[in-house]
Amino acid sequence: MSDLFRPLCPLALGIWLALTSVASIHAEEPEELPFKRTEERETCDAYDPLKQPYFGTTHLHTGRSFDAAIRFVPPGPRDAYTFAKGDGPIKGVDPTGRVTREYWIDRPLDWGAVTDHSEHFGEVGICQSEDDPARFSLDCQLINGFYWRPGAGLPPAVQRGNASAAFGILVAPGLGPSSLNTRMPMCNNGEADCDASELRVWREMQTAAEEAYDRTSACEFTSFVGYEMSAAPSGTNWHRTVIFRNADVVDRPVTAIDLAATPNARPNLQEPTYNKQQLRIDLLWKKLEKECAANPAKPNCQVITIPHNSNLGGGVGDVVPPMLFDPESTEDAAFQAKYERVVEIYQNKGSSECRWDPRFQKGVGTVDEHCDFELLDSLTLMSASGVGTGGSASAAVPPRAFNERAFVRNVLKDGLTLQDQYGGVNPFRFGLVSASDSHNGTMGWHPENATFMGHEGIEDAIPINTGSNIQNGTGGYGVVWAEENSRDAVFEALLRKETYGTSGTRPVVRVFGGWGLDDFCEMAPRKRVEKGYREGVPMGGELLDAKSAKDRQPDEAPTIVVSALKDSFINTPLQQIQIIKGWVDDDGNTQEQVLTVAGHDPQRWEVDPETGKHLAQPLVDPETCQALTPGKNQLCAAWKDPDFDPNQRAFYYARVLEDPVCRWSTHWCRDNLRLGSETIDPLSPTCAKDLKIWQHSDDPEKKRRGNIGAFCCNNQESEVFLQPVIQERAWTSPIWYTPKARRQGSGSADKGSAP
């Protein structure tokens, strides 16, 4: 293969060439770039004005995160970037330091950011040093697993319990009680210089990103400087990953400790005004504005913040609001719209799109049965993070227990209703990405097979006998459509929301909206894209910004066009393309509709006439894990909204569903609970009975394997929700429609201007 094409990973390149023509990719940078070049670097050999798909992640942890360190995850940011590029493995160790597992990425990543938890940078730096005397402090003994080492031979449940105890103690000062957040004792009592250590770790993050960044014309890998702000008041997830455009970054991270209403979080921190939230999430954007975007000493500093796991951020009654609550002012709404361009729709702690639970035959603000995907039985971040030995699920959590704002689709709908309240600014006009949140340093690795061994170090590398471990998925990709694989081009794609997220595979998906696009699917691939940009707007855009909007009839409905090509590496066919529409009706109520516009939507549930329960239909051959009704290699749809009302706000996004396959946990259970011709098979109707026999067997090996696979026979009807068969998918950023008469002021913050 010519070096001309090396910036795209082999899969993405092959797919892209199938959708376009080679002649359009040229080596010379155009006279006028569509984005600002804010750094010195060579022009990418592969540059396409019609853009290319680049697969990456905005969320990944290494051993520099305190909650990874306590679980014996040794690698730092350099190791994660080496892994992502396919240049080396990530190795895991047990409490004795023995290497027990080794991972290699299946195919290189295009771009990514290491986003370790910044709140304990200083403490982790000290505890992992070899010459700082404070490494012998009680704080460091917790971080370094001192209390694990004497019990290295103890049962896994005991080891997990020790790790959970350390986790709880370490979280309590800096992340949990929102009005009292502070640093760990060794930082406040003079035992250690945590400020200096924090700066050393922060410089290490920057140096590792710079070393991994390919500034040559090959553009093989793009790294970003980032971190995670990890506020979790009363366990409610308010976390944000913070991603900088280039090497011009803040002098020190703005952390959850900086946002707490306490005067001793840092010596120079002024106590902020208390409000009903106590933890001031708006201070994150305002401090980043002051120290980055509006800092004259950093002329090229630009940053975004990305909420993740809203499914675990539903709030606590009237005490703690959800992570995506109404801004307190128009100024706050504008800051949020400026900084929060995209949101994570999926990662290894579950799906945040929507929730429909077949056990209760109900949803959270939805009746969409495809919202049963990768559900966690957890209301908060704490249990989903491995705190406690029992896992996240001790009982099925009914839909009524969840705040509707815990799910992105509901937030998108509510955003439509808030624009008038905030001077035309929609604070929740999010694009969509996925990520992993792996705490193993395994950047860009999402295998749907038995090789996946969890995302929290030794916590879930120990075999699956807790509900939280088996409920966790493998994470997914954030995909950008960009002209080239450089920081400026990828970051601009995130700003304009020309992005989509996947659940771990790499299908190529494209969406345009506008008027006069009805013949989209009949055109040659490159002609489609040319017309899409010329006449319409891509995912993330506003319909009335399309050139074709000028010539439309007043009541004429727009056309949403979607093209999708399967992941040719995984090779799972595509089952269907769906369009999800959200809108506000004439009475001011939010509505949603889900329509299949290409492919087929087979019956997934059968209603039991005696109980009325929804029973999952068999969708795969249990022997091969292949779909009973195979899909297509590619799909295309041009859909015109038959219920379009030019006076109603609306959004449209696409969801692309692949054929059903066996979940990673099904493969793991089959492979590890097998003795000769006997096996415990999650797809077998006798699974639970077989497992119970093994657990009470006189054969010690059968008994051992039966115990470690305690949750392998759970399914969509079990109290621990588990899908033995899943449908991998992709979610695209929405395209919005705002009536012209109501657009005043709606675009200013969205285009990056100061509020």
Q: What whole-number distance in Å separates Cα of residue 375 and Cα of residue 360?
A: 13
The three-class DSSP label of residue 354 is: coil
Position 741 scores a pLDDT of: 75
Host H or E run for residue 512: strand 508-514
Instruction: Specify the amino acid at residue 339.
Output: Y
Enter the tokens of residue 359: 């056990």
| Beta-bridge partners for 577 | 598, 656
Three-state SS annotation for 144-194: CCCCCHHHCCCCHHHHHHHHHHHHHHHHHHHCCCCCCCCCCHHHHCCCCCH
| Torsion, Cα of 551, 552, 558, 564 (10° steps) | -30
Q: Which of 740, 304, 336 is nearest to 542 (CA)?
A: 740
The three-class DSSP label of residue 103 is: strand
Q: Which of 636, 632, 496 is nearest to 559 (CA)?
A: 636
Q: What whole-number distance in Å separates Cα of residue 619 and Cα of residue 627?
A: 6
* Residue extents of the structural domains in the chain: 57-352+404-495, 664-726
Position 44 scores a pLDDT of: 95
Strand boundaries in 330-475, DSSP class E: 342-347, 350-351, 356-357, 362-363, 431-434
Position 148 scores a pLDDT of: 63
The three-class DSSP label of residue 750 is: helix
Q: Which of 245, 753, 747, 307 is nearest to 537 (CA)?
A: 747
520 Cβ contact list (under 8 Å, min separation 6): 512, 528, 531, 532, 559, 561, 563, 636, 638
Please check whether residue 95 is in contact with residue 129, taking contact to mean a CB–CB distance below 8 angstroms. Answer: no
Enter the tokens of residue 602: 């087979």
Position 386 scores a pLDDT of: 55
Q: Which of 259, 284, 252, 250 is nearest to 174 (CA)?
A: 259
The three-class DSSP label of residue 248 is: coil
Q: What Rg do the C-alpha atoms of the chain give, in angstroms? A: 25
10-residue stretch averages of pLDDT, the chain, 755 residues long: 35 46 47 91 94 98 94 90 97 79 94 97 95 91 75 68 81 78 87 95 98 98 98 92 98 91 46 49 94 97 98 90 94 96 97 96 96 93 60 74 97 96 96 96 94 84 82 96 98 98 98 97 96 98 96 94 97 98 97 98 81 76 91 98 97 98 95 94 95 96 94 92 95 96 54 39
Phi-psi region of 540 (alpha: psi -120 to 50; beta: other; left: phi over 0): left
Q: How crowded is residue 150: how many other Cβ atoms within 10 Å of its Cβ?
A: 10
Q: What whole-number distance in Å separates Cα of residue 569 and Cα of residue 505?
A: 9
Q: Which of 321, 481, 339 is nearest to 414 (CA)?
A: 321
Enter the tokens of residue 241: 């990953």
Please check whether residue 250 is in contact with residue 291, taking contact to mean a CB–CB distance below 8 angstroms. Answer: yes
Enter the tokens of residue 332: 């706050």
**pTM of the shown model:** 0.93
Residue 581 backbone phi and psi in degrees, to 5? -110, 135
